[in-house]
Amino acid sequence: MNESKKKNELEAVLDRIDLSQPEPAEEPMRQYYFMKKARELVEKQQKELGRPLTFCVVTFGCQMNARDSEKLTGVLEEIGYQEIQEETADFVIYNTCTVRENANQRVYGRLGYLHSLKKKNPHMMIALCGCMMQEPHVVEKLKKSYSFVNLIFGTHNIYKFSELIVTALLSGRMVIDIWKDTDKIVEDLPSERKYSFKSGVNIMFGCNNFCSYCIVPYVRGRERSRNPKDIVREIEKLVADGVKEVMLLGQNVNSYGKNLEEPITFAQLLLEIEKIEGLERIRFMTSHPKDLSDELIAVMKNSKKICRHLHLPLQSGSSRILKIMNRHYDKEKYLTLVEKIRAAVPDISLTTDIIVGFPGETEEDFLETMDVVEKVRFDSAFTFIYSKRTGTPAAVMQDQIPEAVIKDRFDRLLAKVQEIGREMSSRDTGTIQEVLVEEQNEHDPHLLTGRMSNNLLVHFPGDPSLIGQMISVHLDECRGFYYMGTPTKA
CA–CA separation, 160 vs 189, rounded Å? 10
In one letter, which amino acid is 141? Answer: K
Q: Which does 65 bind (CB under 5 to 8 A by kind): ligand SF4, ligand F3S, ligand SAH, none?
A: ligand F3S
- Pairing of the two strands 457-461 and 470-479: unpaired
Residue 217 binding partner per list ligand SF4, ligand SAH, ligand F3S, none, with a CB distance cut-off of 5 to 8 Å that depends on partner kind: ligand SF4
Smallest separation, CB 238 to ligand F3S (Å): 22
Binding-site residue total for ligand SAH (CB under 6 A)? 17
252 is a contact residue toward ligand SF4 (CB under 6 A): yes
CB under 6 A: which stretch of 9-17, 210-218, 240-248, 456-464 binds ligand SF4?
Answer: 210-218
CB of 103 to ligand SAH, least distance (A): 10
Q: Is 285 in the site for ligand SF4 (CB under 6 A)?
A: no
456 binds ligand SAH (CB under 6 A): no
Q: Maximum CA pair distance of the chain?
A: 70
Residue 387 interacts with, from ligand SF4, ligand SAH, ligand F3S, none (CB under 5-8 Å by kind)? ligand SAH
Q: Find all residues with CB under 8 Å of 227, minimum gap 6, and list them.
A: 260
Note whether 33 and 17 are within 8 A (CB).
yes
Please provide the DSSP assignment of 283-328 as one string. Answer: EEE---GGG--HHHHHHHHH-SSB-SEEE---B-S-HHHHHHTT-S
- Residue 327 makes CB contacts below 8 A (sequence gap 6+) with 211, 289, 290, 315, 316
Residues 6+ apart with CB under 8 A from 356: 366, 369, 383, 384, 385, 386, 406, 409, 410, 413
Contact flag: residue 131 with ligand SF4 (CB under 6 A): no
Does residue 202 belong to the site contacting ligand SF4 (CB under 6 A)? no
Q: Which stretch binds ligand SF4 (CB under 6 A): 86-94, 132-140, 209-217, 230-238?
A: 209-217
Indicate which single residue of 108, 179, 384, 481 sits in contact with ligand SAH (rule: CB under 6 A): 384
Told to check if 392 binds ligand SF4 by CB under 6 A, we report: no
384 touches which of ligand SF4, ligand SAH, ligand F3S, none (CB within 5 to 8 A by kind)?
ligand SAH
Site track for ligand SAH across 307-346, x = CB under 6 A: ------x-x-------------------------------
The set of long-range contacts for 204-210, using a CB threshold of 8 Å and a minimum separation of 24, is 204/250, 204/251, 204/252, 204/253, 204/255, 204/256, 205/250, 206/251, 207/251, 207/252, 208/252, 208/255, 209/251, 209/252, 209/288, 209/326, 209/328, 210/326, 210/393
Binding residues vs ligand F3S (CB under 6 A)? 61-62, 64-65, 97-99, 131, 216, 219-220
What b/e sequence results for 53-81 when a residue is b if at least 16 CB atoms lie within 10 Å of its CB, and e otherwise? Answer: bbbbbbbbbbbbbbbbbbbbbbbbbbbbb
Least Å distance between CB 129 and ligand F3S? 11
Q: Which C-beta is closer to ligand SAH: that of 199 or that of 252?
A: 252
Among 224, 244, 288, 451, binds ligand SF4 (CB under 6 A): 288
The answer to the question of residue 99 lying near ligand SAH (CB under 6 A) is yes
Report whether 107 contacts 96 (CB < 8 A): yes
Phi, psi of 311 (to 5 degrees): -95, 115
Q: Which of 150, 251, 318, 351 binds ligand SAH (CB under 6 A)?
A: 251
Residues near ligand SAH (CB under 6 A): 99-100, 213-214, 216, 251-252, 286, 288, 313, 315, 353, 355, 384, 386-387, 389
Residues interacting with ligand SF4, by CB under 6 A?
207, 209-211, 214, 216-217, 251-252, 288
